[in-house]
Amino acid sequence: MHDDRSITEHRLRRVLGERIRPAVHSRPVPLTVERWEAPGEPVPVAEALAAPYGPCAAGDAWGPAWGTTWFKVTGEVPADWAGRTVEAVLDLGFDRMMPGFQCEGLVHRADGSEVKALNPYNDWVRVADAAAGGERVEWYVEAASNPVLVEHAPTAEGDRLTSGDRPLYRLARMDLTVFEAEVWELVQDLDVLAGLMPQLGEDDARRYEILRAVDSALDEVDLGDVAGTAAAARARLAGVLAAPANGSAHRISAVGHSHIDSAWLWPLRETVRKVSRTTSNMLALMDEHPEFVFAMSQAQQLDWIKTHRPGLFERVKKKIADGQFVPVGGMWVESDTNMVGGEAMARQFLYGKKFFLDEFGIETRNVWLPDSFGYTAAMPQLVRLSGAQWFLTQKICWSQVNRFPHHTFWWEGIDGTRVFTHFPPVDTYNSDLGGAQLAHAARNYREKGRGSRSLVPFGWGDGGGGPTREMLARAGRQRDLEGSPRVEIERPDAFFEKARAEYEDAPVWAGELYLELHRGTYTSQARTKQGNRRSESLLREAELWAATAAVRVPGFGYPYEDLERIWKTVLLHQFHDILPGSSIAWVHREARATYEEVREELTAITLAAQTALAGAGEEELVFNCAPHERRGVPAGGAGRPRPAEQPVTVEERHGGGHVLANGRLLVEVDGRGLIVSAYDLEEGREALAPGSAANLLQIHPDFPNMWDAWDVDAFYRNKVTDLTAVDSLEVTGAGPDSCTVTVTRSFGSSTVTQAVTLRAGAKTVDIATEVDWHETEKFLKAAFPLDVKAERTASETQFGHVYRATHTNTSWEAAKFEICAHRWIHAGEPGWGVALLNDSTYGHDVTRRIREDGGQTTTVRLSLLRAPRYPDPETDQGRHTLRFSLAPGAGIGDAVREGHAFNLPERILRGAGPVAPLLAVDHDAVVVEAVKLAEDRSGDVVVRLYESRGGRAKAVLRPAFAVAEAVESDLLERPLAGSAVGAPAPDGGVALTLRPFQIVTVRLRRG
């Protein structure tokens, strides 16, 4: 037989696209359209309904960037359409290739209630299943003219303050039509078979059976009367669509989903509308398809619906009760997990799961994080402590170098906790359930022979939209279809239960899930990252002192509502396109303002509590919020600090520069303003490699291959410029308590001033860097070449640290050329090491070389600033103050202690006398992460602590108040079956037994 495959396949593409699809909506009758331009930001629905509308017609231009146009659409169903299914086609001017990234609309009835949303693949509205004829149509379409910002080119349209006012869209089609159901079904039949055929081998008989059936069906179609011949064409396809799947066919659990970025190429206020639009469509789809299941993560997004669309929220609650609408994830937002602090990560689960429990009575069992840019090794323990059992991710498939070896596996965290994890082999969280994607999932699945099933999240996402009726048609036809995986729409938990039952002994992946891409997100938008870190620290302070005052000071009210509201604001801004710096200018401009409001409010809460605790008096008190004693002031207490044993001295250095000393460290700053010696006087050991200079600022070109704000590619290292030229160098502060040497430099269009400070009694050298940054596509680093033979470095992560190799023996290690650390990174050899501390920098890199003298230089660098141009062309332009500190002779315990101290500055207040801590722990490795009052307003004190050094610890927690009961709790402050917490002893002490990196939450009921 002659091979005529290509002829039939081409015939199918043309006939389907040019004749059959257009015939789904027949007999168009134009609707009457009027318009009203909302001034400025979106307005309430009631205001729009009452607005004065003017004339409008198809073909009219509309919509400046970020504007809102309301269209009033009216018409009447023709009398001769009686008995026919009638739909309106409302095309705002969509580009079919970009759902979620352009104009969108939400259709309202005249009473303001929502009908459904409009987007490129959902531009229809059902008028009547069987029209009587004469039905009146009156709708109001809230149309958002969001600019298209996906071209990866610099643009001023990423902020309403800089965007233009030219219309971006042209109204296309606003018609009443007859919906030809049989034609629509034929389209779905042909669509599924067209997707399946190319996935079958050229020698597979099944492929040719489908080909001949399609050819025959197309013969039946009268191109002049598609509706009249659709049924006959479908009859020719019935046989190939009825053939059952092979017994060994891969099994797919299809879960409806719409990944909606809480901010990205649109601001937060637009996400509020995107969520409502998507949700309204999902509810409408559920009404028509009782088998449809839709999973929605991010409690914040459901809370937006509750706040802004209460009627819609009530419908959501009903569908949740019915089991069709499924809350998943258990977090406040789908947050970044690399840079979010430990306590903030715990609060993501606390407030996320609490919302689902309070509003719906739902205990979510899975953590749903498909799109974050890598996953912390602390996550498994947090997942289990939140009460969840499963974890789902997707983004790891984006890694550039190494293919991840598993799709279903046990993920083991730094403490040894394991969580059952799935990584969908479909390699997208926006599946359309087409034949190519399903075949890819089956071929790609790494667990063949052991497991047989995977999960596919389907529906338009990123910018929202969700599943469509066409996707449900594909699912139904591929439920049991020869040549295709078996597809079943079901809830995520059903998939996980089945997957674990068949693959209990799945392989184990230990440690972080490092994404070999998007490493620039550790650095982009430095002010956003600084706002996050400082907000986390301020929240710690506010809760600690407010809890202490609430227990100690009669009448002091713990600010429950204020703290919860502020926490949720900070958690929202940890979303995985806000904190990583990958959103448009508008988002980061608002974030900076929000963080300033958070700072002011938390400072006021802290001051009120400290004032209540200090009492009336003139004694100068230092409040220490850090989890370790410093300068004689206990952790969580206030008092007069112990003076240092030796003052700081400063001398001129031979050859230029200055020498600072305090009896513990001797620091030389040369005539270039670089640190050329950091000598540990107590150990007799030099921290810096021979002949090298530390605090060396370096500039690299920074033009990644694609994702500007997201990526740094390894080739950036090929060219480097050391910043050694000096504008000025002087001693700017010299006294017994501290000495500072200040250097100013100019480079490119920028200037930098660095103050190098040694304090009395300290074993750290503090560096405050003020940069007036006006570079473009450049990367600023600060290098510290250390005389340390370190095979690995330790980087602080949530509730512990992770080790990473300094060598590049394998492609896995080489791919980690840029890494994330929280407050510190440590390089050491047995008996001695060095820590590099920071107050808001996350990106680092570490390299090693063997010198001619046989020693190893381990160079640790902080990534200070970048200057990408997309999606914010002015990223990080302007003034920044960045602080970091070198700690020679530091062990891991020192790094933990100094890292907290560096991020939690002392506060000075006058009062009556010392303030004793609310509680204390007698083991230096056990760190108190949070002290607060319980969320249920019972007045119980909640303490979260962890083992910080990677060893076992037995400690005693000593509350300074009577304790009736001490209970180990989960992250939601519910009793947890465990053995880490003992009953209170007669003296009030509570015994703790912790394994390495264990997190323990203790709930103390006051006696």
Q: What is the pLDDT of residues 646-667, one digit of tens each?
A: 999 999 999 999 999 999 999 9
What's the pLDDT tens digit per position in 230-252? Answer: 999 999 999 999 999 999 999 99
Euclidean distance between CA atoms 551 and 609, whole angstroms: 11
DSSP secondary structure letter of residue 158: G
Please say whether the beta carbons of 745 and 660 come within 8 A. no
Euclidean distance between CA atoms 714 and 475, whole angstroms: 42
CA 654 centroid distance within chain: 51
Which residue's structure tokens are 């840029």? 818
Q: What is the mean pLDDT of the chain?
A: 97
Q: Which two tokens stand for residue 693?
A: 């200079």
Q: Could you write out the DSSP letters of every residue in 836-852?
A: EEESS--EEEEEEEE-T
Q: Which helix (H) or strand (E) holds 1001?
A: strand 999-1006
Nearest one of 206, 213, 202 to 484, comparing CA atoms: 206
Give the three-state DSSP class for 802: strand
What's the pLDDT tens digit per position in 192-207? Answer: 999 999 999 999 999 9
Please compute the mean of the pLDDT values over residues 172-183 and round it to a whole number.
Answer: 97
* Confidence bin at 980 (pLDDT 50/70/90): confident
Euclidean distance between CA atoms 316 and 334, whole angstroms: 20
pLDDT value for 983: 86
What's the pLDDT tens digit per position in 76-87? Answer: 999 999 999 999
Give the three-state DSSP class for 181: helix
Which residue's structure tokens are 């429950």? 560
pTM, rounded to two decimals: 0.97
Euclidean distance between CA atoms 950 and 800, whole angstroms: 7
Please compute the mean of the pLDDT values over residues 516-531 and round it to a whole number.
Answer: 98
Residues 6+ apart with CB under 8 A from 467: 256, 257, 258, 282, 285, 292, 294, 458, 459, 460
Pairing of strands 619-624, 637-639: antiparallel
How many CB atoms lie under 10 A from the CB of residue 920? 18
What is the layout of strands, in order, in the sheet containing 963-969? 926-933, 941-947, 999-1006, 963-969
CA geometry: angle 799, 802, 804, nearest 5 deg: 165
Euclidean distance between CA atoms 195 and 439, whole angstroms: 9
Which residue's structure tokens are 């891969």? 250
Q: Which two tokens stand for residue 608?
A: 């009120």
Please compute the mean of the pLDDT values over residues 31-36 and round it to a whole number.
Answer: 98
Pairing of strands 919-921, 819-820: unpaired
| Partners of 128 in beta bridges | 86
Nearest one of 166, 277, 148, 169 to 584, comparing CA atoms: 148
Q: For residue 81, with 0-12 CB atoms within 10 Å meaning exposed, 13-18 middle and 19 or more buried, which class applies?
A: buried
Task: Count Cβ neighbours within 10 Å for each residue of 340-359 and write b for 16 or more, e otherwise.
Answer: bbbbbbbbbbbbbbbbbbeb
Share of the chain above pLDDT 70, in %: 100
Euclidean distance between CA atoms 529 and 839, whole angstroms: 10
Q: What is the CA radius of gyration of the chain?
A: 31
Euclidean distance between CA atoms 191 and 43, whole angstroms: 41
Nearest one of 837, 833, 878, 840 to 858, comparing CA atoms: 833
Residue 862, pLDDT > 90, answer yes
User: Measured over all CA atoms, what is the biggest interatomic distance in the chain, rounded to whole angstroms?
Assistant: 102
End-to-end CA distance of the chain: 90
* Confidence bin at 619 (pLDDT 50/70/90): very high
* Confidence bin at 882 (pLDDT 50/70/90): very high
Nearest one of 375, 350, 293 to 327, comparing CA atoms: 293
Residue 2, pLDDT > 70, answer no
pLDDT value for 630: 96
pLDDT value for 39: 94
Euclidean distance between CA atoms 823 and 929, whole angstroms: 14
Nearest one of 84, 96, 285 to 182, comparing CA atoms: 84
Residues catalogued as catalytic:
371
Residue 3, pLDDT > 90, answer no
Q: Could you write out the DSSP letters of every residue in 318-375?
A: HHHHHTSEEE-S-SSS-B-SSSS-HHHHHHHHHHHHHHHHHHH-----EEEESSSSSB
Mapped to the 3 state alphabet, what secondary structure does 317-331 carry?
Answer: HHHHHHCCEEECCCC
How many CB atoms lie under 10 A from the CB of residue 680? 19
Q: Could you write out the DSSP letters of every residue in 206-223?
A: HHHHHHHHHHHHHHH--T
Strand boundaries in 437-496, DSSP class E: 453-458, 486-489
Residue 706, pLDDT > 90, answer yes
Mapped to the 3 state alphabet, what secondary structure does 628-694 carry?
Answer: CCECCECCCEEECCCCCCCCCEEEECCCCEEEEECCCEEEEEECCCCEEEEEECCCCEECECCCCCE
What's the pLDDT tens digit per position in 850-859? Answer: 999 999 999 9
DSSP secondary structure letter of residue 996: T
Please compute the mean of the pLDDT values over residues 502-528 and round it to a whole number.
Answer: 98
Residue 578, pLDDT > 80, answer yes
Residue 977, pLDDT > 90, answer no
Euclidean distance between CA atoms 276 and 284, whole angstroms: 12
Helix, strand, coil shares, percent, the chain, to 5: 30, 35, 40
Please say whether the beta carbons of 370 and 332 come within 8 A. no
Euclidean distance between CA atoms 800 and 281, whole angstroms: 43
How many residues does this entry show for the chain?
1007
Nearest one of 90, 82, 95 to 115, comparing CA atoms: 90
Q: Which two tokens stand for residue 789?
A: 């033979």
What's the pLDDT tens digit per position in 416-468? Answer: 999 999 999 999 999 999 999 999 999 999 999 999 999 999 999 999 999 99
Task: Count Cβ neighbours within 10 Å for each residue of 781-792 and write b for 16 or more, e otherwise.
Answer: bbbbbbbbbbeb
pLDDT value for 982: 86
Nearest one of 469, 492, 427 to 295, comparing CA atoms: 492
Nearest one of 149, 146, 74 to 107, comparing CA atoms: 74
Residues 6+ apart with CB under 8 A from 138: 72, 73, 74, 109, 110
Residue 1, pLDDT > 80, answer no
* Confidence bin at 148 (pLDDT 50/70/90): very high
DSSP secondary structure letter of residue 24: G
What's the pLDDT tens digit per position in 306-359? Answer: 999 999 999 999 999 999 999 999 999 999 999 999 999 999 999 999 999 999
Please say whether the beta carbons of 825 and 860 come within 8 A. yes
CA 736 centroid distance within chain: 46
